[in-house]
Chain A
Amino acid sequence: MGILDSKVPSGSLADKWTNHKNHIELVNPANKRNIDIIVVGTGLAGGSAAATLAELGYNVKTFCYQDSPRRAHSIAAQGGVNAAKNYQGDGDSVYRLFYDTVKGGDYRSREANVYRLAEVSTNIIDQCVAQGVPFAREYGGLLDNRSFGGVLVSRTFYAKGQTGQQLLLGAYAAMNRQIQRGKIQSHTRHEMLDIVLVDGKARGIIARNLVTGEIERHSAHAVVLATGGYGNLFFLSTYCMGANVMAAWKAHKRGAFFANPCFTQIHPTCIPVSGDHQSKLTLMSESLRNDGRIWVPKRLEDAQAIREGKLKPTQLKEEDRDYYLERRYPAFGNLVPRDVASRAAKERCDAGFGVNKTGEAVYLDFDAAIMRYGKEKALTSGMKNPDNKTVRKLGEEIVEAKYGNLFQMYEKIVDQNPYKTPMMIYPAVHYTMGGLWVDYNLQTTIPGCYAAGEANFSDHGANRLGASALMQGLADGYFVLPYTIGDYLSNDIRTGKIPTDSPEFDAAETNVTDRLKKLMSGKGEHSVDYYHKKLGKIMWNKCGMSRNAKELQEAIDEIAELRADFWENVKVPGTIDSKNQELEKAGRVADFLELGELFAKDALTRNESCGGHFREEYQTPEGEALRDDENFKFVSSWEYKGEPKDAVLHKEELVYENIELKTRSYK
């Protein structure tokens, strides 16, 4: 395997992490003061890593394009964070969280990484509570849990529908403490435009000050990329508008392998697209599937009447509704994993049962939950024979307490009251499991360049379970990277400050400036968004929820063509040396136009269906994903060789010693 050494420690699964920590090199506190670390991205992974590294004594510089670290898109995570605390006594354990995650990822993740994730998950909750994160509590004052897709226990900790915001504020507060101590220099409104290698090691970055347009050089002994996922490749997604792949892609071009680019999560419950003007899609938390039931009409004529506005969903009798998830997957019902739920929605809509104007929506219905909660509340309040109206009122209050902010968000966007009529939802791009290839230490194939959180590929295989992204971001940042990076930095205690006037920095800066000038020089007719939207359409139609060889090949050709057109004809107004949002966007879209092609190539190479990667050629007679463990039980790791079409595939064979590979079934 050569370069793809995953560096998984030997020993039994349960002891690997502890043994590894006991044996890796440490840096003494006095030496840490002489070592600089750059952290790019300040979401959960970057923010928590920066805070912890600074607390350990390293000099940390953080970079984010937002005006505050607190605004990174981790903030938008709604539902919760998993941890194997077993507070509910429902049979949860580290092993079970590990098992669920590997199975949920359709056996395409690395066992040792996932086990470590499950192991440190419990520390996350302890840590966050100590920091003052206001998780939801029960009346007894203890922490509350709820359930998420793909599991049979309640292990998800939450803070109403804004768990991500509360966790990020916790990490941000920890950062602020270190900023105040002078251990973190926070650079906001800055974007990393290239990574600088000296003697083959990551030694710094070139960044652009987004306010002044100034190009800056920053050096360090190691560079951590925690820059999130690349779902904005699809233009429409639940990502924030600024999310991009620039940092990871630049590292890729300098030698970091890019793993499993085609593993994308399409989340089943998002507000459907309403028109061509749409700029982004909004998620309705998976937690809603705890109480909401998903359905479409049983009869085509009913679906058509609903689409034409002649029939209301509330008028349809129970027996005329098809609760297709409960029908197809009785064991997990509405709580099947995201990839399964998304495909099932697409299948029904493709068959003509969609319920909005465009036929691309299904119902998420809370009526049963409202009545169930209302009845319980009425009984516990001492009402013997409450009428329906009272029960409904009480039930609505309880649903509001649980999901109020999500319901409000839905109403503001769609202009319909989800307490009175079922929500309409449809799948949307939400997360990317793929990312920079990292070893067990979270180091990429560039020495000294690390990747954490969604930016790396390691823990979620081909499909991520709900409430696991927050878990992974914080696990990487608080508990994994700060240890493993010391092993590498222990060799740097005598290196001294890295100068920024070296030929390597000169070359990187020239490279960056040339590219910016080239972006500004396009004389064409079209805005950046024009190209981004075109790319998004190709991705969604040909590399989306289901893929086939013919369309993937078409996508590769079309993206290459679009990229050439972009560089010739894109129109970027303004100047380089000032605030220029169009220029920022242009740089990001230029990267997407390269990654998109690699994405399609990766999907074309993987001749199997697994998790979120569904190839129409490989499915069971019932339409379930057909995995091929004999030939594809590996991580696709791509080496940059110029054009995306020339990228070279390296395989990391996945070894399963503790889990038996099975057909994933949620029936």
Chain B
Amino acid sequence: MKLHLKIWRQKDANSKGQMVDYPLNGIEEDMSFLEMLDVLNEQLINKGEEPVEFDHDCREGICGTCSLMINGRAHGPDTRITVCQLHMRSFKDGDEIVIEPWRAKAFPVIKDLIVDRSAFERIQQAGGYISVNTSGNPVDANAIPIEKDIADKAFNAATCIGCGACVAACKNASAMLFTSAKVSQFALLPQGQVEATQRVQNMVRQMDLEGFGNCTNTGACEVECPKGISLENIALMNSEYLAASVKA
């Protein structure tokens, strides 16, 4: 397969970036997208050029590290997967592929295709936990029975891998899907009830402070989310937030 790559190159956070063309030959269908970039980088290194830096780690779709806009779509053309699970059989010979980092004010570029997602860290630090002592002696696990449907819903919210595709896909760069998934996971469970009011307020406040945009219900986030996190979480968070505001 022969490809025409257009890749965002940026030396560091303070430099201006630009798109650079890289023609690439000899790509096979069963390579993953990141392995295709490995091939490019090997060639660049051998030519004495600096390789393209991109974030990646587990390469099996669960750590949430990889984060590329491919032809304008977060994690590329295939759905329900991360970039590292995308394979070259999704492309064809002669294709032009545009590769960019996540674009959002709250995710500044560190280098090339790598962005700083520490805003997500701070949102979770603001309240994404249940205040239970780890060294304590909690009650027996089965003393808290949870209806299977509820447990499954909480699990579905908890499958968020924090990659940031929702923000990248959103025209407003809103972090509502991410934050709501984190809020919902706890809000749905009995263990999370005690701190529910504070949690939603603190996390939403932090989200706003980080400079993410507002949600206008376009639903692009749900479409591009590799884990299929549902928009229902946003509805749940809004109702939690409203309830908390009334209480406060």
Q: Which residues in A have some Cβ–Cβ distance to B below 8 Å?
A: 48, 51-52, 55-56, 66-68, 70-73, 75-76, 85, 87, 123, 125-132, 134-143, 159-160, 162, 164-166, 169, 172-174, 176-177, 179-180, 186, 188, 211, 238, 240-242, 274-275, 277-280, 282-283, 408-409, 412-413, 415, 478-479, 482, 525, 527, 529, 571, 573-574, 578-579, 581-582
Report the minimum CB–CB distance from A486 to chain B (whole Å): 11
Report whether A173 and B130 are in contact in the complex, using a CB–CB cutoff of 8 Å.
yes
24 contacts between A and B (CB under 8 A): A55-B133, A67-B117, A71-B57, A71-B63, A75-B62, A132-B186, A134-B158, A136-B155, A137-B148, A143-B142, A176-B129, A188-B118, A241-B56, A241-B58, A279-B32, A279-B59, A409-B61, A412-B61, A413-B32, A478-B134, A478-B135, A527-B42, A578-B111, A579-B114
B165 → A minimal CB distance (Å): 15
How close is B99's CB to chain A, nearest CB, in angstroms?
16
Q: How far is the CB of A552 from chain B (nearest CB, A)?
A: 30
Per the bound structure, the CA–CA distance linking A52 and B57 in Å amounts to: 27
Q: How long is the Cα–Cα vector from A71 to B118 in the complex, in angstroms?
A: 13
- For A87, the chain B residues whose CB sits under 8 A away are 142
Cα A70 to Cα B159 in complex, Å, equals 12
Distance, CA A637 to CA B81, complexed state (A): 43
Which applies to chain B's interface (DSSP): helix, strand, loop or mixed?
loop
Q: Does B30 lie within 8 Å of A142, measured CB to CB?
A: no
Q: Take A75-B62, A177-B129 as given contacts and tell me if A129 and B87 are in contact as well, using a CB distance cutoff of 8 Å.
A: no
Residues of A contacting B80 in the complex (Cβ-Cβ under 8 angstroms)? 408
Closest to B38 in A: A279
A329 to B159, CA, bound (A): 37
- Chain B residues 108-142 with CB under 8 Å of chain A are 110-111, 114, 116-118, 120-121, 124-135, 137-142
Q: Is the CB of A174 within 8 A of B129?
A: yes
Q: A-facing mask of B22-66, CB < 8 A → 1, else 0?
A: 000000101110110011001011101111010111111111110
Residues of A close to B56: CB separation below 8 A: 241
Q: CB distance B124 to A240 under 8 Å?
A: no
Question: Residue A280 contacts which of B59, B135, B138 (CB distance < 8 angstroms)?
Answer: B59
Set of chain B residues within 8 Å of A135, measured between Cβ atoms: 141, 151
Contact B63 A73 (CB under 8 A): yes
Cβ-based interface call for B242 (8 A): no
The 5 closest A-B pairs by CB, nearest first: A141-B145, A173-B129, A130-B138, A134-B155, A129-B141
Given A68-B120, A131-B130, is A75 in contact with B63 using a C-beta cutoff of 8 Å? yes
What is B's interface to A at a CB cutoff of 8 Å?
Answer: 11-12, 28, 30-32, 34-35, 38-39, 42, 44-46, 48-51, 53, 55-65, 78, 80-81, 85-87, 89, 110-111, 114, 116-118, 120-121, 124-135, 137-142, 144-148, 151-152, 154-155, 158-159, 161-162, 185-186, 189, 191-192
CB distance from A29 to the nearest CB of B (A): 13
Q: How far is the CA of A55 from the CA of B131 in the complex (A)?
A: 11
Asked if B110 contacts A211 (CB within 8 A), the reply is: yes
Query: What chain A residues lie within 8 Å of B44 (beta carbons)?
Result: 573
Q: With contacts A76-B63, A279-B34 known, is A527 near B45, CB below 8 A?
A: yes
Interface-central residue, B86, B133, B137, by most chain A CB under 10 Å: B133
Report B-chain residues with C-beta under 8 Å of the C-beta of A55: 133-135
State whether B85 touches A134 (Cβ < 8 A). Answer: no
* Residues of B contacting A132 in the complex (Cβ-Cβ under 8 angstroms): 130, 154, 185-186, 189, 191-192
Cβ-defined partner of A76 (8 Å) among B42, B62, B87, B116? B62
The interface residues of chain A lying within 8 Å CB-to-CB of B57 are 66, 71, 73, 240-242
In the complex, the answer to whether B118 meets A51 with C-beta atoms within 8 Å is no
CB-based contact A412/B58 at 8 Å = no
Given contacts A75-B58, A280-B59, A478-B135, is CB(A134)–CB(B148) below 8 Å?
no
